[in-house]
Chain A
Amino acid sequence: MTNMTQILLVVGYILLAPLIGGLLDGFDRKISARMQRRVGPPLLQPFYDVIKLFSKQVIIVSRSQIFFLLSYFVLIVLTGAMFFAGTDILLCFFVMSTGATFLYFAGMVTSTPYSTMGANRELIQMLAYEPAVLLTCVGFYLAEGTFNVGEIATSKYSAIMYLPGFFIAFVFILTIKMRKSPFDLSTSHHMHQELVKGLTTEMGARNLAIFQVTEWYENVFLLGVVGLYIINKSYYSLIAVAAVILVTYFLEILIDNTSARVKADTMIKLSWGVTIFTAGINLIILMIIK
């Protein structure tokens, strides 16, 4: 990867990721509505929401919350930027988990019931997805001999040829990472309000908007990782990348609409089980053949 494309990709990510993330969110809501036989909101609804949130009165419960939220925002953008710059994938995920820790602090700092409960659940979610995330990196390293995203992306064969099990595990934890049902424990998206708004309960107006935009950045980064499984040296693979990303995203929406929220311990058992079973078996086979 040349420096020029690196810079283009990073700038492109920083400028376009919120647009793409927002649009995907819009599609999500539209498709979900159609699955429920509703008309649904306009495609640009997520942007309307964020614009509104930015123009409302700024209210806070605790002063420090915005500080943690901003750190979360910057770190997630940094994660994505590092990823699209083609650097070390393991470092990307480390920065991402540091970002997620700051989100946890943003929930904890208010010391209020719903926010704290949501933050605690966010922590459990982190526990559930972290092994699969790290194993993803291990898988790439085994398959391509490098942690470098740029080199993985320009390899001769798509990584998924070696890593089908890792891919399944990653898509599984994607549901947790995107906070979608059945694993939307920490924020309860949509209208099921068991925990009010969980982690985001004490975030109003601008704080919520920052959280929302960060989520878009994060989703684009995560879908980028999905794409990394598919991409190879040939430019035609980009079509496959786009197709797989869209299919994966659709799958997430489908899962979201067809399942009910599970308990935290069920989530851990499921995600660890799937991780050990699919990624673990794949790992053993890969270590033998490579």
Chain B
Amino acid sequence: MVDFALQPNSVPETRAKRKRASLRTALKRKSTAAFLMTLPLILLISIMVIYPAFYSLHLATLNKSMQRFVGFGNFEFLFKRETFWLVVKQSCIFAITAVVFKALIGFIVAHFVHNIPVKGQRKWRGMLLVPWVIPPAMSTLAWLWLFDPSYSAFNYTLSFFGIGPIPWTGDASWARFSVILVNIWYGAPFFMIMYLASLKSVPEQLYEAAAIDGANWWQRIWYVTLPMMRNIIAITTLFSLIVTFANFDIVRILTSGGPLDHTHIFATWAFRVGIEGGDIPLGASVSLFMFPILAIAAVFILRDINKRGNEA
């Protein structure tokens, strides 16, 4: 005797119901919705970034005519080239100098803007963002005319003070200075706006407490502002380091890597070797060399952020 009625179809039905319910629950979950909403971007990044990245890895393992697998042969070849090490050195000088000055100028200007009365602040913020908003290829053309070897507007102005003419793009040191200067001009507003946002989020009570403790201007910056801005500083520095290391347009337009290769950075030299020189695998290897450098930088910078996060 059975004490319940046997219903042969009940088990699959229950399963289906459970499935539907779990699907509904999954869809209701915030993480699923977030995933679905970011899916278009994930797909876009996969197509535009991940696939080319792996493809360039593949290219970097081929010989010049792209018919033979050479493993790390291209990298071994590069390591023996004097010009390659010059490019590594210059890329580091270019990126580090530019990022340091961008951060410094951004920090100082952000403080100035922060101290402007709220009423007029928006106007200043807008004006200071202009260099960052103009496409760099366009603004660099204007800089090119300012630095023009024969008709430089800067040299014309300096001549009134008996200075110059300065070979802005003709001498190795001046050319390095010029490309870094333009990069700082272009990138400093980004730091400024990030730091300004960060400054605005520092609670006013902390400054009041510091003032009560008798902290001077420098102590307030060192013990209040900077610790509160640390994470933003780290993230913006990392972001800017990546973008500056991978810069192409400014150097390409201003100097094309010259004179005597003294302003080449990874991207411009990769273009010269890979596209203009018809050696795509070597060009891919040059551009991939940025990856380990940036990865090491990222590990150090992000590790620091985690540490502080845990302390908090």
Do A and B truly interact? no
Binding site for B on A (CB under 8 A): none
